[in-house]
Amino acid sequence: MSNTNKKKPLILVSNDDGITANGIRKLVDLMKQIGEVVVVAPDSPQSGMGHAITIGNTLRLFKERIFPEVEAYKCSGTPADCVKLGKHHVLKERTIDLVVSGINHGANTSISVLYSGTMSAAIEGAIEGTPAIGFSLCDYDPEADFDHADEWILKIAEQTLKRGLPKYTALNVNIPPKRIEKVKGIKVCRQANAKWEEVFDQRRDPNGKPYFWLGGNFVNFDKGEDNDEWAIANNYISVVPCQFDLTAHHAINYMNEEWEL
């Protein structure tokens, strides 16, 4: 069979910044180069939703003509909802070869992976046994330039399609912001030991009723050179393989040996 007759891989695209975000437009354009693309994405920004799903409320899905020559739907739910609907409704008669999420406007390194809607869409794909990738650009500017990441995003997606991933694995890919110096390459690494130290600013609304505004500072405790924070700081793209099994395996023997159960 000639290459021109080979069936294109089916790629499901989602995000957490909403279906109109610049990042998903870029990701759709790139994925169209290597596969057949179907989009199911939130109808509004869903950043920080983590792996929330909609239970007890209606979910709405509407077809959109927003991407040229691409079947696309906007969903009233979360990023995880979008992938679930993509898998079990929109593409229920077909096999999805790759789930990609992003490109997120902002970093999802270190502990942020737990809060990230971008990565939750990817992990939902992994739960279904589909290779999945979450892409994030470490630049919070809504008009950020994504062009310097094109070749790297394509390379990672193509390698995933060609070589595969261990089952139930999603890749957390973070891309440095555009700098004068070109991106040095890709580092497959671990999640850094870092966290947000939250501060809740108590304020009052125009009616005098109190409310809180979440702020804080990101603190990196990790001095290693094999983690995602180091990679981004040194102008590498970080790729962290993630899994949804949160079992602290090292604690099992400790508890069995030390606890009186």
- Residues of each annotated binding site for a divalent metal cation: 16-17, 47, 104
List the structure tokens of 134. 């979450």
| Distance in angstroms (rounded) separating the CA atoms of residues 237 and 227 | 11
What is the DSSP secondary-structure string of 226-248? SBHHHHHHTT-EEEEEE-S----
Question: Which one-letter amino acid corresponds to residue 164?
Answer: G
| Distance in angstroms (rounded) separating the CA atoms of residues 176 and 106 | 10
- Give Cα 151 distance to the centre of its chain: 18
- The residues, any chain, with a CB within 8 Å of residue 92's CB and separated by 6 or more, are none
| Distance in angstroms (rounded) separating the CA atoms of residues 261 and 251 | 14
| Distance in angstroms (rounded) separating the CA atoms of residues 104 and 47 | 9
Q: Mapping DSSP to helix (H, G, I), strand (E, B) and coil, where does residue 72 land?
A: strand
List the structure tokens of 3. 């290459």
Binding-site residues: 16-17, 47, 104
